[in-house]
Structure 1
Amino acid sequence: MLSPVAVLLVLYGCLPITRSQLPVASYKATQGSCNAPKPGMLDFVNKAKWDAWNSLGSLSKDEAKKSYVELVNGLILSEAPAKDTASLSTGQKYDTLQVITEDNITKIFLNRPEKKNAITLQMYKEIGLALDEAAKDDNTVITVLTGHGDYFCSGNDLNNFTNIPPEGKEKMASDSAVILEAFVSKFIDFPKPLIAVINGPAVGISVTILGLFDIVYATDRATFHTPFSQLGQSPEGCSSYTFPRVMGLSKAVEVLLFNKLLTAHEACKLGLVTEVFPDATFQKEVWGRLRSYGELPKNSLVFSKQLIRDTEKEKLHAVNVQECERLKERWLSDDCMNAIISFFQKKAKL
């Protein structure tokens, strides 16, 4: 058990922290100031806990929340295996993606399978860069986004919300909103056919952007989940506009507000997914079909997509801006902070 002085030093970043030292910071973050009666002298365990909690009396609940998230994040990072930097020495352009162009297809693979392809801030930027290059590449007829591993994507990496700059959490929220708006704009403006190959479960932003794709193929093992309310957040990826248009208002509300998880076949029935394939033959069937698409005349596809999509672009950009403004406010809310704390509490217990 930490002494009261040590607890304060830990919370202010002056001492390292271990798993056994997390509960005091957690309790302060979730319960606030010490308001329980002091245990008797012979109740050694509870008295030690009470002393540690009471010693944090001057620290506000919000400060404790921020400290707790930073502490757990630091612990997780310190225990994570060192990142393999071999790709950097070989001059590879992407650290979080694998990008291959062959058969007139640019294939963008989300490449963090050990993290279920959770999207980091770096990943947002790299996906945007890969899309820019595919758009300019004369050898690219169609572009495909898919994932390595069992997941297509598990949504945002919540570590994105713990990297708070010296300017404070308002700066973090503002910068994140700018990154997200730019990321979604890449999909709105992409000029060539854009196809999602959903190789497993998809969560959050990896689901909401699907309304901006031209085709979505999924394995029957895939699921689609947008748990925004559970995380104290709100829709993004233009889904507040595209989902009601694709699946109808009441179904979109069920998915975006009430966290309904869709199976691949349910998503197909609602129009979010184009076609579902058996998992055993998914890769073979889908890539065979995509290779045939790559043989089609590029300019014909580009001009046809313009006719279908261009009338919606202005509206989609306006929706994107509106969604990011709302998210910037949500990221600063108690709802969102409490959800992130809860996530890291569960992760620290593993």
Structure 2
Amino acid sequence: MGSQEPVLVNTIENGVRVLRFNRPKKYNAFNNDMYSSFMKALLEAEVDPQTVITVITGTGEYFSSGNDLGNFMKAEENESSSGSDEADPDTDEGQIALVRKRGVNRFEKLINILIEFPKPLIAVVNGPAVGVGVTMLPLVDVVYASDKATFHTPFVKSALSPEGCSSYLFPRIMGPGKAAEMLLFNKKITAADAYECGFVTEVYPHKSLHKVWPKIHEWAKLPPNSLHGAKALLSSHKKEYLKHVNHQECDQLARTLTTGEFTAAVMEFFNKKSKL
């Protein structure tokens, strides 16, 4: 029986660390293992003196399809044990606290790691991005996209709420109207649309996406201390506020996950999936 493929491929070459989402059969959806592996890899890149630039990309046709709904609400093993300090699960606040513990706290931690990441972070969006696959992008420094990429945040359609600091960053990047179309009314935008509104740095023909790599490797030859110092200046002014926004969004997300609307949306999703 062969060894299972890692859910995240983590490689480094000549100062460039590449973190590649690697669940292509699941469209690189985030499950518990993906969250854990991604956070661990980012923290490793932070302290590794050989890592000058970190790149996030995906295996296969998708960049990431967001959260794996079949897995999202499962507690990680080290979070699943009950404790005497837990809120009463029979109350609304107790339910929200339990949901926070089982999945939302982990999500908040990942977003905070991205906010705090001290080195240049680049996304190479190789295909469609959904949910967290979209909301993480304003937290990186440069976003290159295939012309086959699309960007979709169907939170309200799924009875969820905006996350990943998108409620603050999307309006600042693309303007309040376009942000509302995406975050409230589930509008999917193309790579060309994303470039036009400043969400994406540059769009490449899909067959030419490989041309980003020589550029990135050339940047990795820049003086690392100067590069990382410049990144600190660019990002230091907004870190604390973004973490505040992240916490507020996660509080709201935990509330929405306990509603009947969310339960109905999940049931509808799996009913449609079973009929395919």
- TM-score of the superposition, structure 2-length normalised? 0.90
Instruction: Give the structure 1 partner of residue 155 of structure 2.
Output: 228
* Amino acid paired to 1:294: A
Distance 1:121 1:191 in 2: 24
Residue 114 of structure 1 aligns with which residue? 25
Counterpart of 1:344 in structure 2 is: 270
- Name the structure 2 match of 1:86: 3
Which residue number corresponds to residue 95 of structure 1? 6
Q: 2:119 aligns with which of 192, 196, 200?
A: 192
Matched to 2:122, the amino acid is I
Shift of 1:172: 3.7
Q: What is aligned with 1:268? A: 195
Deviation at 1:123, TM superposition (A): 0.9
Query: Separation in 2 of the partners of 1:121 and 1:296?
Result: 35
Tell me the residue number matched to 1:300: 226
Which position in structure 1 is the counterpart of 2:212?
286
1:185-233 superposed Cα distances (whole Å, 9 cap, x missing partner)? 0100000000000000000011011111100000001000000011000
Residue by residue over 1:282-305, the C-alpha shift from the partner in whole angstroms, topping out at 9 and shown as x without a partner, is 12x111111111111111111111
Equivalent in 141, 145, 156 of residue 56 of structure 2: 145
Which residue pairs with 2:169 in the alignment?
242
Q: Deviation at 1:160?
A: 2.2
Q: Which one has a larger percent helix, Structure 1 or Structure 2?
A: 1
- Helix, strand or coil: the match of 2:160? coil
* Contact in 1 for aligned 2:99/2:258 (Cα 8 Å): no
Alignment of 1:161-180 (within 5 A): 161=72, 163=74, 170=96, 171-180=98-107
SS of the equivalent of 1:86 reads: coil
Query: Which of 166, 174, 181 lines up with 2:108 in the alignment?
Result: 181
1:254 shift after superposition: 0.9
2:143 corresponds in structure 1 to 216
State how far apart, in whole Å, the 1-side matches of 2:72 and 2:233 are.
39
Matching residue of 1:136: 47
Report if aligned partners of 1:173, 1:332 keep a CA contact under 8 Å in 2.
no
Aligned to 2:134: 207
Structure 2, unpaired ranges of 5+? 83-88, 90-94
Q: Decide which structure has the larger Cα Rg and report it.
A: 1
Provide, for residues 208-264 of structure 1, a one-character-per-residue CA deviation record: whole Å limited to 9, x for no partner. Answer: 111111000000010000000110001111111111111111111111111111100
Indicate the residue corresponding to 2:85 in structure 1.
none
CA RMSD in angstroms, aligned pairs only: 1.7
- 2:159 and 2:21 mapped to 1: Cα distance? 26
Q: 1:173–1:331: 8 Å Cα contact kept in structure 2?
A: no
Question: TM-score, normalised on structure 1?
Answer: 0.71
> Within the alignment, does 1:318 sit opposite 2:232 as a pair?
no
Any idea what SS the aligned residue of 2:154 has? Answer: coil
Q: Which structure 1 residue ranges, 5 or more long, are not aligned?
A: 1-83, 88-93
CA distance in 1, matches of 2:221, 2:259: 49
* Residues 71-110 of structure 1: per-residue CA shift (max 9 Å, x gap): xxxxxxxxxxxxx7615xxxxxx83100000021000000
Structure 2 contact 104–253 (Cα < 8 Å) conserved:
yes
Write the distance in 2 (CA, Å) between the matches of 1:212 and 1:258. Answer: 22
Q: Deviations over 1:41-85 (max 9, x none)?
A: xxxxxxxxxxxxxxxxxxxxxxxxxxxxxxxxxxxxxxxxxxx76
1:162 Cα deviation after fit: 5.2
Deviation larger for 297-306 or 196-205: 297-306
Q: Matched residues in 1 for 2:65 and 2:141: separation?
A: 22
Relative to structure 1, the CA distance from residue 324 to residue 339 in structure 2 (aligned partners, 3 Å threshold; closer, same or farther) is same
8 Å contact kept, 1:233–1:327: yes
Aligned-residue offset at 1:145: 0.4
| Mapped partners of 2:187, 2:235: distance in 1 | 28
